[in-house]
Amino acid sequence: MTAFARGQTAQIDAGLVLRLIAVQFPQWAHLSVTSVPHSGWDNRTFRLGATMSVRLPSAEGYAPQVAKEQRWLPFLQPRLPLPIPTPLALGRPTLEYPHPWSVYQWLEGDSAAVAPPADLERFAVDLAGFLQRFQRVDATSGPPPGQHSAHRGGPLLYYDTETRAAISALGDRVDGEAAIELWERALESAWNSPPVWFHGDVALGNLLVMDGRLSAVIDFGCAGVGDPACDTVIAWTNFSEASRAAFRAALHVDEATWTRGRAWALWKALITFESSDPAKAAQARGVIDAVLEDV
């Protein structure tokens, strides 16, 4: 057994989960633990038996998301049109694993990242419907944007220096003039309505599909209440021109919010453009092109 220093990521594997379960939840110690493919970056997910999952933050910075999900997912779940994770138990930090962690009810379905929806336009409309309902849930006392949400839901200004530096560093590999024009136009706008719920990481990996259709939404670690523009990013990362238009029409999003969404997508693509992973770099290139061409 190894003790980990504050902030250091533990070796998270099925063996660790088995030991944590055996000590803290012995009633489930007889159940199998298997890793979940494509379980994400912020957390590691394991299947516990046939009906549960275990989710552990991969580093200290993601640990505050545990308490937030434990607090708010039970409130949100009955108010939403699709299943979302239901917390069943809260695990305690230990010397071997220094962060809180959660046991959830298992949600059936395949990640949309590995099982593409049968009809992307219908998928986009279904997702827009979910987000609209999400935004109408009472946001009183909900968590405002901050480090727990990677500042999504808050002003784009937080990433201004990083974005301008990335545009400058990429030189003529991107249309810097168009990128700056979009970024500055987005900075000039703001969400002037009351704060609403945002998911914060609407990506294919956090959307489950059954029979080709959207069936559940997972990973609310970046969720909070604020500006929902960040939840439109999928329009440029994963949608075609037709499905992007269907998504926008169904979401009834105004021009300023759409522009801020484009800027959120631009920021993330710019900072990953020079990734050593060729696939990630190519994806970032495609997102930058889609964002700048969407006028």
Residues near 86 by beta carbon (within 8 Å), at least 6 away in sequence: 73, 74, 77, 104, 105
pLDDT tens-digit map of 243-288 = 999 999 999 999 999 999 999 999 999 999 987 788 889 999 999 9
What residues does each domain of the chain span? 14-107, 111-293
Find out if CATH 1.20.120.1200 is the number for domain 111-293: no
Q: Which of 189, 258, 252, 208 is nearest to 230 (CA)?
A: 258
pTM of the model: 0.93
- CA Rg value for the chain: 20
Q: One-letter amino acid identity for 34? A: T
* Strand partners for 68: none
Separation of alpha carbons 249 and 211, rounded Å: 24
Residue 11 binned pLDDT confidence (cut-offs 50, 70, 90): confident
Separation of alpha carbons 36 and 107, rounded Å: 12
pLDDT tens-digit map of 125-159 = 999 999 999 999 999 999 999 999 999 999 999 99
pLDDT tens-digit map of 49-105 = 999 999 999 999 999 999 999 999 999 999 999 999 999 999 999 999 999 999 999
Find out if CATH 3.30.200.20 is the number for domain 14-107: yes
Tokens of 133: 């309902």
Rounding to the nearest 10 degrees, give the CA dihedral for residues 64, 65, 66, 69.
140
Separation of alpha carbons 208 and 29, rounded Å: 28
| pLDDT in the model for residue 7 | 44
Burial class (CB in 10 A: 0-12, 13-18, 19+), 144: middle
Q: Which of 74, 75, 72, 37 is nearest to 53 (CA)?
A: 37
Residue 8 binned pLDDT confidence (cut-offs 50, 70, 90): very low
